[in-house]
Amino acid sequence: MLKIACTLLILILAQWTPVLAQEVPHAFTGAKIIPVEGEPIEAGTLLVEAGVIKALGPAGKVAIPATAKRFDLKGKVVIPGLICTHSHIGGIGGGDGSGPVQPDVRIYDSLNVRDSGFRRAVAGGLTALNIMPGSGHLLSGQTVYVKLRGSKTIEGLCLRDKEGRILGGMKMANGTNSQRAAPFPGTRSKSAALMRAEFIRAGEYRDKLAAALDDPEKKPPRDLRLEGLVEVLEGRRVVHHHTHRHDDIMTVLRLSREFGFRVVLHHVSEGWMVAEEIARAKVPCSIILVDSPGGKLEAVNLVFKTGGILEKAGVLTAFHTDDWITDSRLFLRMAGLGVRGGMSREAGLEALTLAGAKMLDLDKRIGSLKVGKDADFVILNGDPLSVYTKVLETWVEGRKVFDRGDPDDLLHAVGGYGAGVDQEPYHCCFGEEGGGR
Amino acid sequence: MMRRALSALLLVFLAATSASAQLAVRGKKIYTMAGPVVEDGVVIIREGKVAAIGRAADVAIPAGFKVLEAAVVTPGLIDARSVVGLAGYFNHKHDQDQLERSSPMQPELRAVDSYNTREALIEWVRGYGVTTLHTGHAPGELISGQTMIVKTTGNTVEDAVMVPTAGISLTLGPGSLRGGGQSPGTRGKQMSMLRARLLEAKSYLESLEPREQKPEKAGEEEKNTPPVNLGLAALASVLRKEVPLLITAHRAQDIATALRLKKEFDFRMILDGGAEAYLLTEELKKAGIPVIIHPSMARFNGALQNASFETAARLKKAGLKVAMQSGYESYVPKTRVVLFEAAVAAANGLGFEGALELITTSAAEILGISDRVGSLAVGKDGDLALFDGDPFEYTTHCVGTIIEGRVVSEASR
């Protein structure tokens, strides 16, 4: 009986597997391919097998196996899957408000994989995200890097290293969002002082761990907060730092120098004022361009020219949605606005893809169309930077995760009755500065 | 001596004013919105008004006129519903005058008394071609106050204003519910409060009318007329159809409620927001209701959870008059830009000219100002927006904004 059940189970699994994995090679032909790394290829061929890019080149230069399934993409444009370095989708809320420093909190314990935000993200051509807790803390917790593979569980979305550890960074913030009533800091100096004290404690903890070697007797008791910070000090966890004002940006660079942590500056509204300093520190920037300045004091000097100025200064620059600040479905627009503000088209597209991959330490796997990298790509019906262009399909690891031709996918791409579910928006700092609802 | 100096000063001033008002704008494409596109055309503006328009080959530019050139020229853009000038970009208590919380119904609150002509966001939207703003009290209370129409220049609100009372803002559905046991706590209570106040306004109006209709009997009637009540007077102007009710409603049930209220009290109604208006196109058409649709990029949650990028296109296809708005934002971005919102509608079923109508002709018609703005024709205000390409493309720049013949923005944005 058990044997029959087992056999049945195996049969069922065998039926399932082909749906999940890509069995035969897929050949996408005829499209203009913009690989981001390397020159655009007119009427190129992209060959995908087992979830990775097998070959890429002009028609005729890529041998298409006889077994391959062919996709004619004449007149279309193929770009790498978009990477958002700063997203709040998944119904995560603004974070626990009990204290300003929470390195023990893991965002993936809060994520709902069935949140409609994921459907909208793939509709926008996004394939990988850094999902972060809110910015109402000095340190709001561990972020998670996910692939939009479509999964019933968060574990299925998480990116992992070779040892199987879930990948992510650490979210920090300075400026006004994290200045709140006690125990939160009330000033910028206090913000920096609190963080310095935390890092000093974490350094001591790290030293105790190192001194204990592998002797469990000598090891200090486990401390989830300090463990998170030690990962930051050791460079295993990159700090993703919300920071707007020029002086706040310099404070981040100062702390990063003092404690040696790796950092990506996020938002960087006044980054254009200290672009040379950021370049000298060799620190990358993940920026957002919103439709008007202000909404809070630290963003009153936000301008569209930030991307162009950072590019000219030699700063590695990516974009992010900060979804729901901007809608993932319109992420391509960010590069359009960047170019409007003086960025080169190449840097604009790189800022949606490869630059973000670098900031997440994932550029060996994603961010460009290159042999051996994951087959994450987007099929468009025109110029990536045109308002009139639509995302037709989004593919992750050789599987189609969005198809504009599918009515349910289209509903999430465009909106309409039934697209919405009653959900709470991301609440951090929303309406806290007197604006009302 | 003093008098001569003053006269000289006056002459200098007049010369400066008239010089700035003599302007010619050449465009490779001029979308007049009053006729076909003029290729390689020119607009002549004299004393703030369009004096001539046509192909450059046919219309001579008078000597001494300043000449600007652009790839694309459109009428100055109209933002059909905004809070710019009342909701400041600092987003702190001192610059937030768009929503008074002290009571759920305050139709007497005038927009002119809160408009800050030096607010940075006015300059911001002006840089993207917006020359006319319908701005004022925000959605968020049952009756939050009045709206007005301004040009995006002016040292004082008196300089800027076109229509001091353009509408009275009313919000149905979750947007104006109050918590903590305060009224209105439900949709049913919203309607009972509104109906009671409108009935009161009706009595107020009836008690005023005998005096107004028969001025010779004013003395006799005086003892029966009520003391002036600013709120009821404002609502009386709605019942007289002098001022429209601007009803913000997103869910289909709330839009249907708005229609029910209109049927009972017979006022001019403009539907504002209308995220689910596509479910009620026939009803809206039958009632003759124009729609100022929510910004295309408004956040699709809460009452807007079923919003669609295609709503403007669907409403227009159903024969409704539709305009676009920048709306009301309480955080970042503090205002949207109506040009960008129309762009998304252009790309989602409406097409280029249909989307341009949303922020020019249709907006002017809905707001009742099409005799002055919204299209380029002889005699209309010399309000223009200049672009270096398709205005809706992300990578195109607005390269100039002109209001009544004055160049008010020249930076490439």
pLDDT of amino acid B331: 92
B333 part of contact set with chain A, CB < 8 Å: yes
Q: How many Å separate Cα B203 from the centre of its chain? A: 31
Beta-strand ranges (E) seen in A304-366 are 317-319
Cβ–Cβ below 8 Å for B395 and A420: no
pLDDT for A364 beyond 70: yes
Interchain contact, A325 vs B332, CB within 8 Å: yes
Interchain contact, B299 vs A293, CB within 8 Å: no
Show contacts of A333-339: CB within 8 Å, 24+ apart: A333/A387, A333/B394, A334/A288, A334/A289, A335/A384, A335/A385, A336/A385, A336/A386, A336/A387, A336/B393, A336/B394, A336/B395, A337/A289, A337/A304, A337/B394, A338/A289, A338/A304, A338/A307, A338/A308, A339/A385, A339/B394, A339/B395
Q: Virtual CA dihedral for A120, A124, A126, A130, nearest 10 degrees?
A: -60
Q: Which CATH class is domain B11-75+374-413?
A: mainly beta
Spatial contact of B163 and B147, defined as CB atoms under 8 Å apart: no
CB-CB neighbors (< 8 A) of B119 in chain A: none
Q: A418 contacts in B (CB within 8 Å)?
A: 306
What does the pLDDT read at residue B225? 73
Residue B269 to residue B261: CA distance in whole angstroms: 10
pLDDT of residue A284: 98
Alpha-carbon span A145 to A157, nearest angstrom = 8
Q: Which of A387, A416, A431 has the CB atom closest to B308's CB atom?
A: A416
- B99 near A CB under 8 A: yes
Q: Which fold has domain A82-367?
A: TIM Barrel (3.20.20)
Chain B nearest-CA distance from A94, in A, is 14
Q: Which of B171, B281, B331 to mutate to test the interface with A (most CBs of A within 10 A)?
A: B331
Asked whether A339 and A68 are in contact (CB, 8 A), the reply is: no
Helix runs in A126-187, H state only: 154-157
Omega cis (within 30) before A25: no
Q: Is B300 on the interface with A (CB under 8 A)?
A: yes
* Rounded (10°) angle between helices A188-212 and A224-233: 90
With respect to CATH, is domain B77-373 assigned 3.30.200.20?
A: no
Least CB–CB distance from A333: residue in B394, B396, B397: B394
CA dihedral A375, A378, A382, A384 (to 10 degrees): -100
Nearest residue in B to A336, CA atom: B394
Q: Any idea where the domains of chain A sit in the sequence? A: 82-367
pLDDT band at A348 (very low <50, low <70, confident <90, very high): very high
Q: Do B299 and A425 touch (CB under 8 A)?
A: yes
Instruction: For residue A332, give the chain B residue with the closest CA.
Output: B394
| Pick from B96, B310, B346: CB nearest A434 | B96
- B332, B340, B395 ranked by CB distance to A296: nearest: B332
User: Is B337 within 8 Å of chain A by CB?
Assistant: yes
CB distance from B199 to chain A under 8 Å? Answer: no
Peptide bond into A324 cis (omega under 30): yes
CB of B17 less than 8 A from some CB of A: no
Work out how many CB contacts closer than 8 A connect A with B. 148
What is the number of other CB atoms lying within 10 angstroms of the CB of residue A276?
12
Domain boundaries of chain B, sorted by first residue = 11-75+374-413, 77-373
Dihedral of alpha carbons A134, A135, A136, A137, sign: positive
Query: Which tens digit of pLDDT belongs to each residue from A97-109?
Result: 999 999 999 999 9
Full-model pTM: 0.93
pLDDT at B164: 98
What band does A424 get if pLDDT is binned at 50, 70 and 90? low
User: How many Å apart are CA B39 and CA B23, to the nearest integer?
Assistant: 19
Q: Do B89 and A429 touch (CB under 8 A)?
A: no
Tens of pLDDT, residues A185-212: 999 999 999 999 999 999 999 999 999 9
Could you read off the pLDDT tens digit of each residue along chain B, which spans 413 residues?
455 555 554 444 444 444 456 999 999 999 999 999 999 999 999 999 999 999 999 999 999 999 999 999 999 999 999 999 999 999 999 999 999 999 999 999 999 999 999 999 999 999 999 999 999 999 999 999 999 999 999 999 999 999 999 999 999 999 999 988 999 999 999 999 999 999 999 999 999 876 666 555 555 555 567 899 999 999 999 999 999 999 999 999 999 999 999 999 999 999 999 999 999 999 999 999 999 999 999 999 899 999 999 999 999 999 999 999 999 999 999 999 999 999 999 999 999 999 999 999 999 999 999 999 999 999 999 999 999 999 999 999 999 999 999 999 999 99
Indicate which of B332, B341, B353 best probes the interface with A, i.e. most A CBs within 10 Å of its own CB. Answer: B332
Position A15 pLDDT exceeds 80:
no
Residue identified by tokens 């998670």 is A144
State whether residue B299 sits within 8 Å of chain A by CB: yes
